[in-house]
Amino acid sequence: MPVSVASSKLIYESLKDIGVRLVSALPETWLVHLIRMSEEDPDMTLVRLAKEEEGVGISAGAHLAGVKSAMLMQNHGFLASVNGIVSCAQLYRIPLLMLISHRGEFGERDPWQTEGGGVTEHVLDALRIPHTRLESSDHVARRLHKAQTLAQSASRPVALLLCRDLMWEEA
Amino acid sequence: MKRRDAMEAVYSELDRCVVVTIMGAVAAELQSIGHKPNFFYLQHAMGLASSMGLGIALSRPELKVIVFDGDGSILMNLGGLSTLARYRPRNLVHVVFDNESLLSVGGFPTATSTGTDIAGIARAAGVPNTSTVRTLEEFRSAFTDALAADDLATIVAKVEAVGPSGYVTDLSLLENRYQFQRHLTTLSLSSQHPA
């Protein structure tokens, strides 16, 4: 499975650098290494979810309790979480850091992933959630740091899209 | 049993806990009994109060977290019940006030009115201690036992489908949110076991 270990490691190290101590996740192919790294790290709390929207509540609770967290999910999981993002994270000004694997773009072979790829950025725009794409390894550390800075200063959700060129090691 | 009476019966015990409630009657009634800085009311995002409680409980194991949930809310997040059971926070007591209806939007019946058993679902999800109580005395006793047990519990309290005349209170959502966060920070500073 050509999911990039090197990119996953870079992302994980950046998450640690920006103070993330709790990660909620629902497995998806591109996230397997990140989830494994979270699980093997004794200083990280990993919460495996049944559905992604739960992660919004968990992150909100963690934030009010003084712990920085992140959500790891596929773009379809983000779509499944929209009411929680609006009615919990935005309504209550929670600095929610979302790492979203951006399936369904150029190069996607799984037919079932292709609809979500076309709507994800539009939905983020409609929700007024600041977002940026991570497409190469030199994006990772700087953009994650900047995303976290904005999330904390604005006290609002932000999203980083993990793109194919970063996460998948074949054309 | 009326929900307001049930909350009043355990109100003095809430001082040593942090409390997360759902929207609607639960939030309005608890505020009418008396708001405290350790109470947070999730006034929307139905279903996520239990997930918020889990986030607080995992982040701050030294705190005792109470979630006041409802049948309509937990039915929207039954998967969250399995997550709660999976991580089994020993410092969380999950109370579900089950009035078998969506009271604040006109009293439409929920599936518990036709037999869905929330305590049964919680038990099957893996919550180690579950009960269904129907009287104030049973509720008080189940709540006190759960607080003393230092383990995850789901208590389903069957209550009448009656509530306050209105749901909007004079406590603004963000005022509540920041006061609660500041209160948890204060508890952290004064705690023997900082997060």
Residues A132-153: tens digit of each pLDDT: 999 999 999 999 999 999 999 9
Q: Answer whether B42's CB lies under 8 Å from B23's CB.
A: yes
Q: Which residues of B touch A (CB under 8 A)?
A: 20, 40, 42-60, 63, 77, 79-80, 82-83, 86-87, 173-174, 177, 180-181, 184-185, 188, 195
What is the Cα–Cα distance from A8 to A166, expressed in whole angstroms? Answer: 9
Let me know: does A20 contact A96? Beta carbons within 8 Å: no
Does this complex have an ipTM over 0.90?
Answer: yes
Burial A9-30 (b: 16+ CB within 10 A, else e): ebbbebbeebebbbbbbbebeb
Q: How far is B135 from chain A (nearest CA, A)?
A: 31
Residue range B60-84: mean pLDDT, rounded: 97
What DSSP string describes A7-61? HHHHHHHHHHHTT--EEEE---GGGHHHHHHHHH-TT-EEEE-SSTHHHHHHHHH
Tens of pLDDT, residues B34-66: 999 999 999 999 999 999 999 999 999 999 999
**What is the residue range of A79's domain?**
5-167
pLDDT by residue, tens only, chain A of 171 residues: 799 999 999 999 999 999 999 999 999 999 999 999 999 999 999 999 999 999 999 999 999 999 999 999 999 999 999 999 999 999 999 999 999 999 999 999 999 999 999 999 999 999 999 999 999 999 999 999 999 999 999 999 999 999 999 999 986
pLDDT of res. B105: 82
Given this model, what pLDDT does residue B14 score?
98
Q: For residue B150, what are the contacts with CB-CB under 8 A and spacing of at least 6?
A: B90, B91
Under 8 Å CB-to-CB from A20, ≥6 apart: which residues? Answer: A44, A68, A69, A70, A97
Distance between CA B28 and CA B170 in Å, rounded? 10
A83 inside 8 A of chain B by CB: yes
Please judge whether B83 and A54 are an interchain contact, meaning their C-beta atoms are less than 8 angstroms apart. yes
Q: What is the CATH number of the domain that holds A137?
A: 3.40.50.970
- Please tell me if residue A62 touches chain B, with a CB cutoff of 8 Å: yes
Joined tokens for residue A125: 């725009």
Residue B10 distance to chain A (closest CA, Å): 23
Q: Which residues make Cβ contacts (< 8 Å) with residue B72, sequence separation at least 6?
A: B46, B101, B102, B110
Query: Chains A and B: how many Cβ contacts under 8 Å?
Result: 113
State how far residue B12 is from chain A, nearest Cα, in angstroms.
Answer: 23
> What confidence score (pLDDT) does residue B192 get?
52
What is the tally of structural domains in chain A?
A: 1
In angstroms, the Cα distances linking A89 to A30, A97, B106, B184, B194 are 25, 10, 27, 18, 25
Chain A residues touching B86 at Cβ < 8 A: 48
Q: Closest Cα partner for B39 from B58, B26, B51, B25?
A: B26
- Residue boundaries of the structural domains of chain B: 3-190
Strand partners, B101: B109
In the predicted structure, residue B148 carries a pLDDT above the cut 90: yes
The architecture (CATH level 2) of B3-190 comes to: 3-Layer(aba) Sandwich (3.40)
